[in-house]
Amino acid sequence: MEINATARKKQLKENISGYLFLSPAFIILGLFLFIPTLMSIYYSLTDYYMLTPDKTSFIGLDNFKKLFNDPLMRQSILNIFKFVILIMPIQVGTALGLALLVNNQEKHTIIYKIAYFSPVVMSLVVVSILWLYLLNPSSGLINQVLMKMGFESQPFLSSPNQAMITIVFVSAWQGAGYQMLIFLAGLQNIPNEVYEAATIDGANRWEKFSKITLPMLKPTSILILTTTLIDAFKLIIQPMVMTQGGPLNSTLTPAYYIYRTGFTDRFVGYASAMTVIYGAIIISFTVIQRKIVGGDGDE
Amino acid sequence: MKNIKRVIATVLVAVFTLGNLGVVSAQDDNVINLWVQYSEESAEGQVMVNSAKEFNETNEEGYVVEVSYVPRSGSGGGYEDVINAALTTNTMPDVFTLDGPNVAAYANSGMLQPIDDYVSNKEDILPSIIDQGTFDGQLYAAGYSESGVGIYYNLDMLEEAGVDLSTLPTVSEPWDWNQFNELLETLYAHYNKPVLNMGFDDQSEWLLYAFAPYIWSAGGEITNEEGTEAIGVFDSAENTSAFEFIQSLVKNDYSTITPVEYGFHTGEYALFMSGSWTMQQLDSEYKDINYGVMPYPVSPDTKELVSPTGSWAYGMSTTTDNPEAAGALIDFLMSEEQLYNMSMGNSVLPARQSVADRMMEEVSEPMKVLIEQNTTSGKARPKLVNYPQVSRTFQQTVTESTYFEQNPDIKSLLERKAQEIQSYLAQ
C-alpha cells in the first residue's frame, strides 16, 4: 500500500512537472489563438463598429445572412480558389525540381541553396514592391526584356486577366526556396542502396523517380502540401501591396477583404463573421486534402 | 531581526514606487500627447519639431507636448491602424491629426470633442477649413493646411510640340475639356505616346480627391445634400459626362493607367496632374524641369472651375485628461506664425487668409496659381459618416471607367456604383 502511494505521488509530481513545462505554450496559444477565436465568434453575432465599441449589440445571424449575399465575398472566394489551384502545382513542383537539381550537384551545393533560398528571407512586402517595379508595363525590366526579344509589352498587374497569375508566380518565386530545403532533407534521407538496387534491376531515371523518389518523399510531400495549402488561403500581402485587390477586384482575396472590412471600414462584427466562415472553409479543405493525399504516409 | 529587515525593505520599496508614481502623475498633467501622421525626418516633421520646441519653451502654463511621429502610407494606412488600435484599447492621445474626410465619422462616434472655444481668430481661417472641420454645427477639427491640385506642364516639351504658351489657361480664364483635349491631341501627335500622368495608378483617396472636381464642374454630386441618397444622384447625366471625359483620356491614349514613376520629373510626360507637394520635389531634385501649373479644365456645359480642397487637421480626443492643455496646443499650432511655417516648410497651401496674403508675396508663380484656384474655386469633399466606403466606391468607379473595354457603358457603371454607395449610406 505504501509503495502504491509513493508511486502515485511520484506520478502526480511528474504530471505536474509536465503540465508546468506545457503551460507557457498553452498560455500563448490561449492568448493568441483560442481566446481571439472565441472573441471572433462572439463579435460575428454583433454589430461591432470600431469607432463606437460601447454601442455594440447582439444581432444574431444577420452578419452571416448579409455575407451569403455579398458579391465581393463570392468574388474573393473564387479568386482565392484560382490562386490555390495554380500555386500548389507551380510552387511545390518548382520546389521539388530545385531540390532534385541541388541534390544532384556534387560541388558547391551551398551556393545553390543560398541562391534558391534567398527570396524566402526577404519580407513579402519588400518582394511585392520589388516585383511591382519589375512588372511595370511601361518601364519594368520584365517588359524591357520581352520587347527586346520581340514580344509585346504585357500589362501584368494592370490586367484583370493577368493580375492573379502574376501574383501566383511572384508568390512561387518567393516561397519555393523554403520547400526546396524540406524536399532536399527528404531526398537525402532516401538510402542510396535503393537506387543502386534499382539500377541493377535496369530501372531508368524516370522509373527511379516515380517508383522510388516520389513514394519515399510522401511524408515530406504531405507536410509541404498541407502547409502550402494553408498558406495559400492566407494570401493578403501581395494583393494589398501590388494591386489593392484590383484591377476590377480580380485579386481581392478573402483575407484582404476581411482586413479591409475590419480595419479600414471598421465593421468588426461583419469582418468577424467573414473570418468564422472563411476559417471553416480552410479547415474543411485541409481535412479533405489530408484524406485524399493520405494521413500519416506511413507506408 | 530578519522579519524587521523584510518589513523595512517592503516599506521603502512602497515609498519609492508610490513617490515615483506621484512624480510621474504630476508630470503627466502637463504633458500633452500629440500623434501626427508623418515622419520626423520629412519636411512636415521638421516643421513640427520646431513648433513643438517653441510651444514647450514659450507657453506660460508649463505645458509640454510630446510628439509621436507615425508615418502613414497612401491615404492613412499605418497611421489609422494605430488610431484604431488606440481606440480599442482606450489609449488615444490628447491631440491627434486626422484627414479632413474623417471628421464626420470621428465626431459622430464621439472620438472628438468640439474645439470652438480653443481656436482663436477663427474669422481668419479659410471657410473651406472651417467647413471641413465642422460637424453638426460645431468645430471638431482644425486643418493646418489647405491643398490644391493643378495640371503641371513642361514648358520645354510644350514649346517643342509647337504649343503657344501665351494661350495657356489661367484661373480667371480656364480651359474647358474640349480645349484641353486639343492640347492633348497636339502633344500626342508630336510625341506619339501618352503625354499626361493623372495618377490613375494611385489607388487611394487621391482618386476621389483629384477626380471629384470633374463631376462637380459638370454640375454633378456624389450624394444629395443630406448625404442620404446616391441613386439618381451619382448616376446623373452630369456625372456620366464627367466620367466619359475621364475615360476618353485613357481611351485616346493621352493618359495611361500605368504611368512611369516620376515620368513628369524626368521629361517622360509633358503634363502631370498633381498637388502642391510636387513643386518641392521639382524645385529640389529635378531643377532642370522648366514647369508651370495650369488650373483644372472645366466642363464645357457649365464653364465652372472647381478644385479640390482639404487636408489633415488637428483634433482633440474626448478621452483627454486635460482639455485646456490640449486646446492650448491646438490654438498655438493654428496661429498665423505656425501655419505660415508649416505652409512654407512643406510647400502646402495656407489655412488662414492672413497667411495666404503673406505667402502670395513670397511664393513661386505656380504656387500662386494653386493658391488663387483654391481660394476662388475650392470645394470640400462630402462629410459622410461612412466616408471611407463611399470614397472607395468612387475610387473604384474612376479605376473601372479607365478599363474602357470592360466598361464601355459609363451610365450603367455609375448605376451599379450608385447602388453600392446607397447601401453604405443606409448603414
Supply A11's cell numbers: 506520478
Q: Is the pLDDT of residue A289 over 90?
A: no
Strand locations in B42-197, DSSP E? 64-69, 95-99, 112-113, 134-135, 138-139, 141-143, 149-154, 196-197
Question: Nearest Cβ partner of B203 from A52, A139, A246?
Answer: A246
Q: Is the pLDDT of residue A282 over 80?
A: yes
Q: What is the pLDDT of residues B13-66, one digit of tens each?
A: 555 444 444 444 444 679 999 999 999 999 899 999 999 999 999 999 999 999
Contacts of A138 in chain B (CB under 8 A): 256, 258-260, 263
- Contact assignment for A160 to B259 by CB distance below 8 Å: no
Last residue of a domain, one of B330, B347, B364: B347
Q: pLDDT band at A297, cuts 50/70/90?
A: very low
Q: Reduce the DSSP state of residue B301 to 3 states and report it.
A: coil
Distance from CA of B20 to the nearest CA of A (A): 31
Distances (CA, A) of B128 to A97, A126, B101: 62, 39, 12
pLDDT in tens, chain B (427 residues): 556 655 565 555 555 444 444 444 444 679 999 999 999 999 899 999 999 999 999 999 999 999 999 998 755 568 988 998 898 888 999 999 999 999 999 999 999 999 999 999 999 999 889 999 999 999 999 999 999 999 999 999 999 999 999 999 999 999 999 999 999 999 999 999 999 999 999 988 999 999 999 999 999 999 999 999 999 999 999 999 999 999 999 999 999 999 998 999 999 999 999 999 899 889 989 999 999 999 999 999 999 999 999 999 999 999 999 999 999 999 999 999 999 999 998 888 999 999 999 998 899 999 999 999 998 899 989 989 889 899 999 999 999 999 999 999 999 999 999 999 999 998 7
Q: How far is CA A34 from the centre of its chain?
A: 21
| Cβ atoms of B252 and B188 closer than 8 Å | yes
Q: Does A27 touch chain B (CB under 8 A)?
A: no
The pLDDT of residue B120 is 94
Tell me whether the omega of the peptide bond preceding residue B408 falls within 30 degrees of 0, making it cis.
Answer: no
In which domain, by residue range, is B187 found? 149-308+382-425
Same domain, B303 and B318: no
Q: Does B11 touch chain A (CB under 8 A)?
A: no
Question: Nearest Cβ partner of B257 from A53, A158, A266?
Answer: A158
Contacts of A264 in chain B (CB under 8 A): 77, 80, 388, 392
Burial class (CB in 10 A: 0-12, 13-18, 19+), B141: buried
- Contact assignment for A52 to B109 by CB distance below 8 Å: yes
The pLDDT of residue A51 is 87
Binding-face residues of A in 35-94 toward B, CB within 8 A? 49-53
CA distance B257 to B21: 57
Contacts of A53 in chain B (CB under 8 A): 87-88
Supply B156's cell numbers: 520645354
Q: What is the pLDDT of residues A76-107, one digit of tens each?
A: 999 999 999 999 999 999 999 999 988 887 77
Same domain, B281 and B317: no
DSSP for residue B36: E
The pLDDT of residue B7 is 58
Evaluate whether residue B410 is within a structural domain: yes
Q: Which of A47, A48, A50, A51 has the most B C-beta neighbours within 10 Å, making it the best mutation to test the interface with B?
A: A51
Distance from CA of B360 to the nearest CA of A (A): 38
By C-alpha distance, which of B383, B400, B415, B307 is closest to B99? B383
Name the average pLDDT for chain A. 91
The pLDDT of residue B21 is 43
Instruction: Give the nearest chain B residue to A55 (CA atoms).
Output: B109
Block residue for cell numbers 450603367: B412
What percentage of chain A reaches a pLDDT higher than 70?
97
Last residue of a domain, one of B347, B366, B400: B347
| Cβ atoms of B183 and B176 closer than 8 Å | no
Q: Is the pLDDT of residue A138 over 90?
A: no
Question: Nearest Cβ partner of B87 from A51, A155, A246?
Answer: A51
The pLDDT of residue B2 is 53
Question: Nearest Cβ partner of B203 from A139, A160, A244?
Answer: A244
Contacts of A141 in chain B (CB under 8 A): none
Mean pLDDT along residues A215-236: 92
Number of domains in chain B: 2
CATH entry 1.10.260.40 includes domain A63-293: no
Instruction: Give the nearest chain B residue to A263 (CA atoms).
Output: B81
CA distance B376 to A219: 72
Same domain, B19 and B47: yes
Q: Is the pLDDT of residue A193 over 50?
A: yes
Q: In what order do the strands lie in the sheet with B291-294?
A: B196-197, B271-275, B149-154, B291-294
| Cβ atoms of B176 and B299 closer than 8 Å | yes
Question: Which strand (E) or helix (H) includes residue B380?
Answer: none
- Contact assignment for B400 to A248 by CB distance below 8 Å: yes
Q: A120-143 b/e with 16+ CB inside 10 Å = b? A: beeebeebbeebbebbbbbbbebb
Q: Does A248 touch chain B (CB under 8 A)?
A: yes
CA distance B17 to B21: 6
Question: Nearest Cβ partner of A263 from B81, B105, B110?
Answer: B81
CA distance B322 to B28: 10
Last residue of a domain, one of B347, B369, B398: B347
The pLDDT of residue A23 is 92
Q: Which of B72, B109, B257 has the most A C-beta neighbours within 10 Å, making it the best mutation to test the interface with A?
A: B109
Distance from CA of A51 to the nearest CA of B (A): 6
Block residue for cell numbers 452578419: A63
Same domain, B122 and B178: no
- Contact assignment for B106 to A51 by CB distance below 8 Å: yes
The amino acid at residue A166 is T
In chain A, where are the structural domains located?
Answer: 2-35, 63-293
Mean pLDDT along residues A222-251: 93
Q: How far is CA A201 from the centre of its chain?
A: 40
Contacts of A160 in chain B (CB under 8 A): 403, 406
Q: End-to-end CA distance of chain B: give it in Å, rounded.
A: 70
Q: What is the pTM (predicted TM-score) of this model? A: 0.84
Distance from CA of B377 to the nearest CA of A (A): 31
- Contact assignment for A263 to B88 by CB distance below 8 Å: no
The pLDDT of residue B3 is 61
The pLDDT of residue B16 is 47
- Contact assignment for A137 to B400 by CB distance below 8 Å: no
Specify the higher pLDDT residue, B69 or A8.
Answer: B69
Same domain, B298 and B209: yes
Q: Which of B102, B258, B262, B317 has the most A C-beta neighbours within 10 Å, making it the best mutation to test the interface with A?
A: B258
Domain CATH for B164: 3.40.190.10
Q: Does A281 touch chain B (CB under 8 A)?
A: no
Phi, psi dihedral angles at B297 (to 5 degrees): -70, 155
Q: Is the pLDDT of residue A150 over 90?
A: yes
Same domain, B284 and B318: no
Binding-face residues of B in 359-398 toward A, CB within 8 A? 388-389, 392, 396
